Amino acid sequence: MTTTPTSLPRTGRHTPLAVTASSWAVPVLVLGQFALLAIVPVAIALVGALRHTRDRTIRWAAALLAVTYAIPLALWLTRPDGAPSLSKDIHPAFVGLIGAASAGLIVAIFRARRR
């Protein structure tokens, strides 16, 4: 009798669906000009990855996403002559970095599921 990959017991905890959905929602919100609202899925991804995942790669990727989002947010909050919204003030390079960090988190989640 052979065992199939689906019949093998899973060791450890899997990544919660909220972390996966949040990692997809962040670039969508930032590109859709809702950058300030993206703080919610960033926080969900970070807290969910740190509390419910044992994989270090996912934890580091979630922390990287949080840092890449926090830098333009802090710059917008501390600048006296900033735009009225974060979406109008964020530099396109930061949008690219946030998208890349989110993609890195998505890849880390799917690689952890395949192991």
pLDDT in tens, 5-36: 555 445 556 888 999 999 999 999 999 999 99
Q: Domain total for the chain?
A: 1
- 69/37 Cα distance (integer angstroms): 11
Q: Fill in the DSSP letter of residue 35.
A: T
pTM of the complete model: 0.85
Domain membership of residue 109 (yes or no) is yes
Q: Fill in the DSSP letter of residue 91.
A: -
Domain membership of residue 7 (yes or no) is no
Domain membership of residue 80 (yes or no) is yes
Domain membership of residue 10 (yes or no) is no
Let me know the angle formed at the C-alpha of 86 by 85 and 91, rounded to the nearest 5 degrees. 130
Domain membership of residue 5 (yes or no) is no
Give me the domain span that covers residue 24: 17-114
